[in-house]
Amino acid sequence: MDNKHDENFEQKCLCVLVLDTSYSMDDGSIDELNAGLKRFQDELLKDKTTRDRLEVAIVTFDSDVKTIQQPALLTDFSMPTLECNGSTCMIDGISEAIDIVENRKQYYKSHGIPYYRPWIVMMTDGYPDSDQDVDGMSSRIKDAHQHKEFVFMGVGVGDSISEDVLKQLAQSDFPPMKMQAVKFCEFFTWLSNSMSGVSNSTGTDVTIPNPTEWLHEMI
């Protein structure tokens, strides 16, 4: 996961997107998600500081979990086109994202690169498979939150989400949110503005934009 731009030693901000690509997304949602990802990249590339600091990784989950993009600056990869299939290994997807965060933080430390607290952003339109350990993941996220290891944000899409699961996984910083219809482009515009704010910040306090353009309700 070496990055050719790390020699500038710019402080890094890692955002891991954990995206539901189960078969239930095959209703047009996957196309909207792909369009949103493209907008996310386009918006972030407009700001030089963000280009030099923000790294993005992408994990998808359906019947399997795949890391389709290892952490990299947005100038170093083309946004992939996602396809949907299978069921919903949600917790396994989050676990993969946490492993990516932990490994990347070790990389930063070993190379003397300062970094902001990473973000994990999980989006889903359904329930996790019955064999997924929600209780165990809830405890893992809670412990990580207490030690300020990363920010976790859960976003529900549509009317078939499990609000109870999203609530269980959430922490006080970011209560779970439900997106209006399939406003993926609006969501990723908001996320790009949020990530730009983090990567341009000089202290611990970061102002996050109001999510009114895409938010249906707090869960």
12 within domain boundaries: yes
Can you tell me the distance from the alpha carbon of 40 to that of 190, in angstroms, rounded to the nearest whole number? 9
| Predicted pLDDT at 6 | 45
Whichever domain contains 87, its CATH number is 3.40.50.410
Count of CB atoms situated within 10 Å of the CB of 38? 15
* Residue at token pair 């341009």: 200
| Predicted pLDDT at 204 | 60
86 within domain boundaries: yes
Q: Which pTM was predicted? A: 0.91
Contact 174, 153 (CB under 8 A): yes
| Predicted pLDDT at 164 | 93
Read off φ and ψ for residue 129, nearest 5 degrees. -55, 155
Within the chain, which residues score under 50 in pLDDT?
1-6
| Predicted pLDDT at 217 | 66
13 within domain boundaries: yes
Contact 154, 170 (CB under 8 A): yes
For 136-169, the pLDDT digits (tens) are 999 999 999 999 999 999 999 988 889 999 999 9
**H runs (alpha helix) in 3-119:** 29-44, 48-53, 90-110
The SS3 assignment for 200 reads: coil
Bin 194: left if φ > 0, else alpha if -120 < ψ < 50, else beta.
alpha
- Please count the structural domains in the chain: 1
Residue range of the domain that includes 186: 6-218
Contact 56, 72 (CB under 8 A): yes
| Predicted pLDDT at 205 | 63
1 within domain boundaries: no
Contact 88, 161 (CB under 8 A): no
| Predicted pLDDT at 216 | 74
Structure tokens at 147: 């030690």
For 161-200, the pLDDT digits (tens) are 899 999 999 987 788 999 877 789 999 999 999 999 999 8
| Predicted pLDDT at 113 | 94
181 within domain boundaries: yes
Q: 144-164 as b/e, with b when 16 or more CB fall inside 10 Å?
A: bbeeebbbbbbbbbbeebbee
